[in-house]
Amino acid sequence: MRAAVCREYGTPQAVRVDDIPAPPLAPAHVRVRVHAAAVNFPDVLIVANRYQISVPVPFVPGSEFAGVVVEVDDAVTDLAVGARVFGSCLYGAFAEEVVVPAASLSLVPDGIDDRHAAVFGVAHRTAYNVLRSVAALMPGEELIVLGAGGGVGLAAVQVGAALGASVTAVASTPEKLAVAAANGAQHLVDHRTRPLRDALRELLPAGGDVVVDPVGGDLSEPALRSLRWGGRFVTVGYASGVIPRIPLNLVLLKGVHVLGFQLIDFLTHRPAELERNERELLQLLAEGRAVPHIGATFGLDDVADALQWVADGRAIGKVALDVAPPFAPG
Ligand SMILES: NC(=O)c1ccc[n+]([C@@H]2O[C@H](COP(=O)([O-])OP(=O)(O)OC[C@H]3O[C@@H](n4cnc5c(N)ncnc54)[C@H](OP(=O)(O)O)[C@@H]3O)[C@@H](O)[C@H]2O)c1
């Protein structure tokens, strides 16, 4: 099969397309013919060997995909050949075939094409679980989203608006902010043109209720300072490459709740809530209220450029990779 292969850790240019043997089927697993994949920030980190989990080289990167089931292990009873599915894995998705546990797959809702299904899982599930369960966002609350033009951020803007919040989007370019506005943000802040704290004080004089932070770095502290007393700050990721250090006296003085989220923890510790959230989120997708924005699409041969695009912070919403036809519509 054709696949993107990382033979040594490094920059995205270390990833090349090659012909390699397809992975063997495993117990309780299915083989999916991948039509489209998503390119995510952690893929860049895994290729650089800077992710929290190290994947031994050589390996096929890629952590989100959509396609059709082409082979099923005997132990699998709830998925058949021909089913349209989407799923995620740590690596292996930038290939014509991927073998994954049947239990890790979801059926693609009617009317959703392969590209949109491929890019849906990680960002939207993260945003939905963060807002619905971790932050317990309520209608009418003021939500501040950092990195609002990125995958998780833009999903948080969409989902926050769908849950009835008033959303303030923070991003680095007018282009990213325009997409955030089109996806439900009411207030827009370009943090490159003025200090974030000043802009948020002006827009939200009573303070925000919730901050979602997938970026870290210099933006986290002014965003936390912009919460009202008792507000919630959810740390989701560090796309800036810098894990911020927040003075603890701010937490004391403002009575804020600093919360963290990792999808994998919900699988282990809050499975019933995860299941409820999944049902609600798929309903929003089917209703067209949580459809991911694809800002750029690359072919498999251009996988290194796609990874570089994401590494450079140029992605608006999600980046799709067309692996094998048909990509869209499904
Ligand atoms: N906790 C979880 O379960 C979970 C799940 C999914 C993702 N994540 C993490 O969340 C973070 C964001 O993921 P994402 O998919 O939203 O990424 P993304 O689409 O690449 O967006 C990241 C945003 O961060 C900002 N940024 C600031 N400095 C950057 C830099 N040096 N390089 C790249 N981006 C930079 C950019 O916004 P501006 O240009 O507007 O500043 C960019 O839009 C990642 O660290 C990822 O690992 C965590």
- Kindly report, residue by residue over 175-193, the tens digit of the pLDDT: 999 999 999 999 999 999 9
Compute the distance between CA of residue 111 and CA of residue 196 in angstroms, rounded to an integer.
Answer: 40
Asked whether 40 lines ligand 1 (CB < 6 A), one says: yes
Task: Write down the pLDDT at residue 180.
Answer: 98
This prediction's pTM: 0.93
**Closest CA to ligand 1's atom 28:** 240
- From ligand 1's centre to the CA of 239, what distance in Å? 4
Most ligand 1 atoms within 8 A of CB, residue of 53, 215, 312 to mutate = 215
Asked whether 149 lines ligand 1 (CB < 6 A), one says: yes
Question: Could you give the residue ranges of the DSSP H alpha helices within the chain?
Answer: 41-47, 114-118, 121-129, 151-162, 174-182, 196-203, 220-225, 248-254, 263-269, 271-286, 303-311
Task: Write down the pLDDT at residue 328.
Answer: 57
The 8-class DSSP code of residue 60 comes to -
The residue whose two tokens read 């997708």 is: 285
Most ligand 1 atoms within 8 A of CB, residue of 158, 194, 236 to mutate = 236
Compute the distance between CA of residue 25 and CA of residue 108 in angstroms, rounded to an integer.
Answer: 22
Most ligand 1 atoms within 8 A of CB, residue of 11, 39, 41 to mutate = 41
Q: Give the atom of ligand 1 at the shortest distance from the alpha carbon of 318.
A: 19
Q: How distant, in Å, are the alpha carbons of 84, 128, 154, 202, 204 from that of 228?
A: 45, 22, 23, 13, 9
- From ligand 1's centre to the CA of 24, what distance in Å? 33
**Closest CA to ligand 1's atom 37:** 147
- Place 327 in a pLDDT band, splitting at 50, 70 and 90: low
Most ligand 1 atoms within 8 A of CB, residue of 50, 63, 152, 219 to mutate = 152
Asked whether 315 lines ligand 1 (CB < 6 A), one says: yes
Asked whether 236 lines ligand 1 (CB < 6 A), one says: yes
Within 10 Å of residue 109's Cβ, how many Cβ atoms?
A: 17
The whole-number average pLDDT for the span 273-302 is 94
Asked whether 308 lines ligand 1 (CB < 6 A), one says: no
Region for 82 from its dihedrals, namely left if φ exceeds 0, alpha if ψ lies in -120 to 50, beta otherwise: left
Residues 92-121 pLDDT 10s: 999 999 999 999 999 999 899 999 999 998
Q: Dump the DSSP string for 67-104.
A: EEEEEE-TT--S--TT-EEEEE-SS--SBSEEEEEGGG
Q: Give the atom of ligand 1 at the shortest distance from the alpha carbon of 153.
A: 16
Asked whether 309 lines ligand 1 (CB < 6 A), one says: no
Element holding 107 (H helix, E strand) = strand 105-107
- Place 313 in a pLDDT band, splitting at 50, 70 and 90: confident
Residues 5-17 pLDDT 10s: 999 999 999 999 9
Nearest to 177 by CA among 160, 162, 192: 192
**Closest CA to ligand 1's atom 22:** 150
Asked whether 188 lines ligand 1 (CB < 6 A), one says: no
Q: Is 132 helix (H, G, I), strand (E, B) or coil?
A: helix
